[in-house]
Structure 1
Amino acid sequence: MRRPVTAGLDGFPESRTATHWAAHEALLCDAPLRLVHAWLLGSVTARQIPREDEQNLRATRLLADAEAELRERHPGLEITTELVPYEPEGALLAESEKALLLVLGSRGLSGVGGFLLGSTGLRLAAHAACPVALVRGAPGATPGAAGDVVAGVGTRHPADSVLAFAFDEAARRDATLRVVRADRRLPHPHRSASGGEGDAAAREELDAVLRPWRDKHPGVAVDARLVADSPGRAVVDAARDAALLVVGRHATGAARPHGIGPIAHASVHHAPCPVAVVPYD
């Protein structure tokens, strides 16, 4: 059975942008799309039953409207929907066990110009069993916009799952993959080594990490960069005109700062494009 791309749909208009992005991703992956709306009522008395029925009707209509909109735009896409009477975080964590990718939306900009991501979204990014894509953008924004795929990587402990995801995304999109390895200790601050500058040993390490993936994906153009900056700031800067930013987080996210690690934390709060957070061992 093919794993679906699963989108969490809530009552906010911005989540519609995420469902359209998820539909585009499902088509790229040749995967079905699954729309999930989760909500949890407290204890219900006899007097509250009409209110429960009204909320259930509203939730059902939300899913039906989203499905109809996506079927009209993508008539060949396989779409399923489910209304889950459970709290959203637990429901979506359970969905991540059987999903290819979990897609969540953003409410827009925070007061400091970053990604407005609630605690539920942050915990899902930290603990989901599959990669989580966090999609920002106003309702009606164009999903799957053209641009490079950017991946933040390390060389001491390279994460195969992160590189596999990034190369696959670049291949499916016919996009250039920009790989960023950042370290404050690198020479030539504010300059990349893609043009021959920088530390030769660091360049050799990065090339060695990328070599097997380049061999596996010979059709993907790779722009590998060494940046003398903090990793979080470097990947956010690199993603300013990108279609997607791919970062990793350790599978045991609870043991890391912010649950997802400082690089992923900076990315999901400040990158202007969709961000895929990929778990690795």
Structure 2
Amino acid sequence: MELPLVVGVDGSEPSLRAVDWATDEAALHGVPLRLVYASLWERYEGAALAEGLDRSPEQVMADNVVEAAAQRAHRRAPEVKVTTDVLPDDAVSVLLNEALTAAALVVGSRGRSGLAELLLGSVSLKVAGRAACPVIVLRGDQDNQARAGTHRRVVLGVGEGSHGTAAARFAFEEAEVRKAALDALRAWRCPAYESTDAPLLEGEPARLHEQRAAEILESALSEAAAEHPTVELRRRTAEGSVRRVLLDASDDADLLVVGVRRHHHGLAGLQLGRVAHTLLHHSACPVAVVPQRG
């Protein structure tokens, strides 16, 4: 059974953009599209009311939202198989449960309230930080960059200890299906305590850190590169903070891919680091957060 691409919808403009983007992706990958709406109306108003003759306003709204989203997806790509569901739970719980049987989750950057950065933290950040599958958060809504194939360029941020990462494989797969180039970036910085004013030693610490970055990059990419020999791979090391290097790279990319490691801390699940958190708030293109184990 093919795993679907799952989209959380709530009727907001960002969620409709997520439907558009995910529909294009489902068509590109040849996978089903699943649209889900989280609704607590049945839990709060009771099963008896749910079984009555009259439907609550919340149920009517939920049904209308998913139906409108499904029609939108069908108009955009009639060949994509679309299913919908209204599920009785909060948005984060619904999406985390859907992630267990999804190829990936797609979410907008905010919900109906329009508080862009605050609601990113309330739903999208929580889902991206804990989901069992890749989560793609759409960014760049003002200039409509959240469209597949605009630049034909996928960017992968290679972190520490990323040997054989799920993120690298995901990035190669996305670049291959898009027929896009893959820019793999590894940022490095020379610690201040290693700097020196001695002319004969000037530049030596920096050279060693740059060399180390190149070695990490090569090791992280070798396995996935061998599995996808047709992908145009461009390896690059850059001096500077990871956040700044990747944000700059997102300006003309179709997708920015980063990996995050799973930490077992009770119910907290997968936690985002500062880099992923910054990218989800400020990237100019959609960001794919890919969970890694180990």
**TM-score, normalisation: structure 2:** 0.81
Aligned partner of 1:278: which letter?
Answer: V
- Pairing 1:43–2:44 present: yes
RMSD across aligned positions (CA): 3.1
Distance 1:96 1:221 in 2: 30
Q: Compared with structure 1, are the counterparts of its residues 223 and 26 closer, same or farther at alpha carbon in structure 2 (3 Å cutoff)?
A: same
Q: Compared with structure 1, are the counterparts of its residues 118 and 239 closer, same or farther at alpha carbon in structure 2 (3 Å cutoff)?
A: same
2:166 paired residue among 141, 157, 161: 161
Distance 2:58 2:142 in 1: 23
- Pairing 1:68–2:71 present: yes
Distance 1:140 1:235 in 2: 19
**TM-score, normalisation: structure 1:** 0.85
Match of 1:93 in 2: 96
- Pairing 1:151–2:156 present: yes
Match of 1:192 in 2: none
Q: CA deviation at 1:52?
A: 5.8
* Matched pairs, number: 269
Match of 1:134 in 2: 137
- Pairing 1:216–2:227 present: yes
Q: Compared with structure 1, are the counterparts of its residues 76 and 155 closer, same or farther at alpha carbon in structure 2 (3 Å cutoff)?
A: same
Match of 1:259 in 2: 271
Q: Which runs of 5+ in 1 are unaligned?
A: 188-195
Match of 2:196 in 1: none
Contact 1:15 1:104 in 2 (8 A): yes
Match of 2:204 in 1: none
- Pairing 1:57–2:60 present: yes
1:182 paired residue among 181, 187, 191: 187
Match of 2:202 in 1: none
Q: Whose helix proportion is higher, 1 or 2?
A: 2
Aligned partner of 2:32: which letter?
Answer: P
Larger radius of gyration: 2
Q: CA deviation at 1:65?
A: 1.1
SS in 2 for 1:70: helix
Q: Compared with structure 1, are the counterparts of its residues 180 and 9 closer, same or farther at alpha carbon in structure 2 (3 Å cutoff)?
A: same
Contact 1:126 1:253 in 2 (8 A): no
- Pairing 1:172–2:174 present: no
- Pairing 1:272–2:275 present: no
Distance 2:236 2:96 in 1: 34
SS in 2 for 1:6: strand
Select between 174-183 and 114-123 the one with higher mean Cα deviation.
114-123
Q: CA deviation at 1:158?
A: 2.9
Q: Compared with structure 1, are the counterparts of its residues 155 and 85 closer, same or farther at alpha carbon in structure 2 (3 Å cutoff)?
A: closer
1:133-171, Cα deviation, whole Å (9 max, x unpaired): 001354994621422100101253435200000000000
Aligned partner of 2:90: which letter?
Answer: E
Distance 1:86 1:203 in 2: 46
SS in 2 for 1:86: coil
Q: CA deviation at 1:51?
A: 9.1
Distance 1:26 1:248 in 2: 22
Aligned partner of 2:282: which letter?
Answer: H
Aligned partner of 1:54: which letter?
Answer: P
- Pairing 1:18–2:18 present: yes
Alignment of 1:100-111 (within 5 A): 100-107=103-110
Q: CA deviation at 1:204?
A: 3.6
Q: Compared with structure 1, are the counterparts of its residues 183 and 253 closer, same or farther at alpha carbon in structure 2 (3 Å cutoff)?
A: farther
SS in 2 for 1:25: helix
Q: CA deviation at 1:177?
A: 0.4
Q: Which runs of 5+ in 2 are unaligned?
A: 193-206
- Pairing 1:84–2:84 present: no
